[in-house]
Structure 1
Amino acid sequence: MERGKLYGVGVGPGDPELVTKKAERVLREADIVAVPDKGAGEKTALNIVRDIVAGKELLYCPTPMVRDRAVLDGCYEQIANDICVLLDEGKNVAFITLGDPTVYSTYIYVHKKVLSRGYEAELIPGVPSFCAVAARLNTSLCEGAERLLIVPASHDAADCLDIRANKVFMKAGKAIGELQTQLAERGMLEHASLVANCGMEGELVCPHFADMSDGTGYFSIVLVKE
Structure 2
Amino acid sequence: MSILYGIGVGPGDKELVTVKAVKAIKNSDVIVAPSAMENGESIALETVREYIEDKTEVVIKHFPMGKKDKEIKVKEAYDFIEEKLKEGKVVSFLTIGDPFVYSTYIHLLTHMKERNFKVETIAGITSFCAAASIVERTLVIGENRLVILPATKVNEITDEKYVVIMKVYKHEKEVIDALEEKGFTDYVYVSRAGRDGELILTDKEKIINARDYMSLILASKE
* Same-fold call, TM cutoff 0.5: yes
Residue 123 (structure 1) aligns with: 121
Q: How many residues align?
A: 218
Residue 47 (structure 1) aligns with: 46
Deviations 1:116-137 (A, max 9, x none): 1111111100001110011011
Query: Which letter maps to 1:222?
Result: I
Task: Report how far residue 74 of structure 1 moved.
Answer: 3.7
- In the alignment, is residue 173 of structure 1 matched against residue 169 of structure 2? yes
Residues 19-28 or 78-87, more deviating: 78-87
Residue 12 (structure 2) aligns with: 14
Query: Which letter maps to 2:60?
Result: Y
Say which SS state the counterpart of residue 25 (structure 2) adopts. helix
Q: In structure 2, what is the Cα distance between the partners aligned to 1:130 and 1:157?
A: 16
Task: Report how far residue 75 of structure 1 moved.
Answer: 3.0
Superposed, which structure 2 residues align to 1:33-44 within 5 Å? 33-38=31-36, 39-40=38-39, 42-44=41-43
TM-score (norm 2): 0.92
Q: In structure 1, what is the Cα distance between the partners aligned to 2:25 and 2:131?
A: 25
Query: Which letter maps to 1:40?
Result: N
CA contact under 8 A between 1:192 and 1:210: conserved in structure 2?
Answer: no
Residue 202 (structure 1) aligns with: 197
Task: Report how far residue 22 of structure 1 moved.
Answer: 0.2
Instruction: Quickly say closer, same or farther: Cα 1:26–1:136, change in 2 above 3 A.
Output: same
Instruction: Quickly say closer, same or farther: Cα 1:118–1:171, change in 2 above 3 A.
Output: same
CA contact under 8 A between 2:42 and 2:60: conserved in structure 1?
Answer: no
Task: Report how far residue 157 of structure 1 moved.
Answer: 2.5
Identity %: 34
Q: In structure 1, what is the Cα distance between the partners aligned to 2:165 and 2:203?
A: 12
RMSD, aligned CA: 1.7
Say which SS state the counterpart of residue 49 (structure 1) adopts. helix
Q: Structure 2 regions of 5+ residues with no counterpart?
A: none
Task: Report how far residue 54 of structure 1 moved.
Answer: 5.0
Task: Report how far residue 41 of structure 1 moved.
Answer: 6.3
Q: Structure 1 regions of 5+ residues with no counterpart?
A: none
Q: In structure 2, what is the Cα distance between the partners aligned to 1:177 and 1:191?
A: 15
